[in-house]
Amino acid sequence: MKHHPKGLYILFFTELWERFSYYGMRAILVLYVIANAQGENPGLGWAEGDALALYGWYTMLVYLMAIPGGILADKWLGPKKMVFIGGLLIIAGQFILAFDSIIAFYTGLALIVMGVGGLKPNISTMVGGLYKEGDLMRDKGFTIFYIGINIGAATAPLLVGYIGETIGWHIGFSLAGFGMILGQAVYIWGQKYLKGVGNVIASTSKSGAKSHAPLTKIEKDRVFVLLISFLVVIMFWGAYEQAGGLLNIYTKEKLDRFVMGWEIPASVFQSLPAIYVILLGTIVAGFWAKWQAKGKEASSLFKMAVGIMIMGCGFLFMVGASLDAAASNSGKAALYWLFGAYFLHVVGELCASPVALSFITKLAPAKYASIMMGTYFAMTGLGNKLAGMIGEAASDAGEKTIFFGITFFTVGFGVVLLIFLKRLKALTHGAEDVVLEEAA
Ligand code: PHE
């Protein structure tokens, strides 16, 4: 049996700890910002709308920085060094957040934004670089990597969230910093397994040879389809990423979190989507494999359309929670609504998100490959900003309207995609048929 390169596990653990630090901090960010500025474990005392606006800016910039992060790697430093520098910036940022001052707060966030921008896109490029072109192990490698991401994302809110909310926000932030130190340590130790990967990429010069040639009609059509798929990406994350913002605050304020007499901190529930990813990942992938084997429609665009619709339906559970809260004496809804919502969110994510990356690599003209990847991350950034804006609107419109609105728009968007599916597929000029032949 063919084994994955050892470097995969080095990158797996580095990214696991990076995501631990990112999602751990994110789990308490809005909660810290809205917490009363006086009293025990004081926060910043901001209004909810302002907190969600900050959340939107922060989570957008983190991924928008993937563009300069990718360019710096392509042109000068190479992904390997960028991951290292990114890691250092994140460590510095998390520990600066450990200080209780507003200047430290903004400085810390800025450093993390730059750090993630340097690390996240480039570590993904390095995973790709471990495999030769056309190696069928590559997709499996990415799946393993995706699990690493979610192990970090699942454990962090439990630890950082619990400690941040119950003991002290700043201790929580520094715990996230220790996570990144571990990631950096694994990365440095594992350099011997990463010798041939992540150096300044030759692809710039490879594609540079024809870079003056104008795009062909086929390439232009494919870029058009990619731009449409970017719209899906923005819509998808705009809805899904309510998790760390509005849903996080909603969990804190409107859900009855008592289980056997113990009130579970809200941020702990931030680990739920990642746990679902780990549990359901292979099941959803297996479903699509069988579906495809039966000769049914299984193009990436189809999966993205289905994914966004399923995810959007998850918000119906939150509509249910709002009705439940309004009807109950305590003004609080039962927890199972949130479990249902996150369940559908993740089933949708697993349909749409893993296919998006490979879709980009298949459709992007060679000379725009890295910039398209950077743009993809940037689009998830715009999605995150949209999430913050939608969350903010809940202060005026009320949560129930917002939750229902999200279902309405995402399902509607999915239906439109399905209606135009044939035409869009024609514009890909068989880019995906190649995949099917390869897989067969
Ligand atoms: N859970 C994913 C991750 O942290 C979310 C994501 C998808 C982020 C795509 C960026 C781009 O990696």
pLDDT digits (tens, 9 = 90+) for 39-49: 899 999 999 99
pLDDT mean over 336-340: 98
pLDDT of residue 207 exceeding 50, the answer is: no
Per-residue confidence (pLDDT) for residue 209, from 0 to 100: 46
User: Which residue in this structure is represented by tokens 């979190």?
Assistant: 257
> Which H or E element spans position 258?
strand 258-259
pLDDT of residue 435 exceeding 60, the answer is: no
pLDDT band at 372; cut points 50, 70, 90 = confident
**Cβ contact 119:152 at 8 Å:** no
Q: What single-letter amino acid sits at 365?
A: P
149 pocket-lining for ligand 1 (C-beta < 6 Å): yes
User: In whole numbers, what is the pLDDT of the chain averaged over residues?
Assistant: 90
CATH number 1.20.1250.20 is the correct assignment for the domain at 8-195+216-260+268-439: yes
Ligand 1 atom having least distance to the Cα of 357: 9
240 pocket-lining for ligand 1 (C-beta < 6 Å): no
Cβ burial of 192 (10 Å; 0-12, 13-18, 19+) is exposed
pLDDT of residue 67 exceeding 70, the answer is: yes
19 pocket-lining for ligand 1 (C-beta < 6 Å): yes
pLDDT mean over 297-325: 96
CA nearest ligand 1 atom 2, residue: 149
Ligand 1 atom having least distance to the Cα of 376: 11
21 pocket-lining for ligand 1 (C-beta < 6 Å): no
Residue-wise pLDDT tens digits, 100-117: 999 999 999 999 999 999
CA–CA distance, 107 with 86 (Å, rounded to integer): 15
254 pocket-lining for ligand 1 (C-beta < 6 Å): no
pLDDT band at 208; cut points 50, 70, 90 = very low
**Segment among 73-77, 245-249, 322-326, 400-404 with least mean pLDDT:** 73-77
Cβ burial of 299 (10 Å; 0-12, 13-18, 19+) is buried
387 pocket-lining for ligand 1 (C-beta < 6 Å): no
How far, in Å, from the CA of 150 to the mean position of ligand 1?
Answer: 9
How far, in Å, from the CA of 323 to the mean position of ligand 1?
Answer: 31
How far, in Å, from the CA of 379 to the mean position of ligand 1?
Answer: 11
pLDDT of residue 14 exceeding 70, the answer is: yes
pLDDT mean over 56-71: 92
What size, in residues, is the chain?
440
pLDDT band at 440; cut points 50, 70, 90 = very low
* Chain centroid, CA 203 distance in Å: 26
360 pocket-lining for ligand 1 (C-beta < 6 Å): no
Helices (H) and strands (E) in the chain, counts: 18, 2
Per-residue confidence (pLDDT) for residue 210, from 0 to 100: 47
pLDDT band at 205; cut points 50, 70, 90 = very low
Per-residue confidence (pLDDT) for residue 214, from 0 to 100: 82
How far, in Å, from the CA of 42 to the mean position of ligand 1?
Answer: 30
How far, in Å, from the CA of 36 to the mean position of ligand 1?
Answer: 31
Per-residue confidence (pLDDT) for residue 137, from 0 to 100: 76
Dihedral of CA 117/384/32/267: which sign?
A: negative
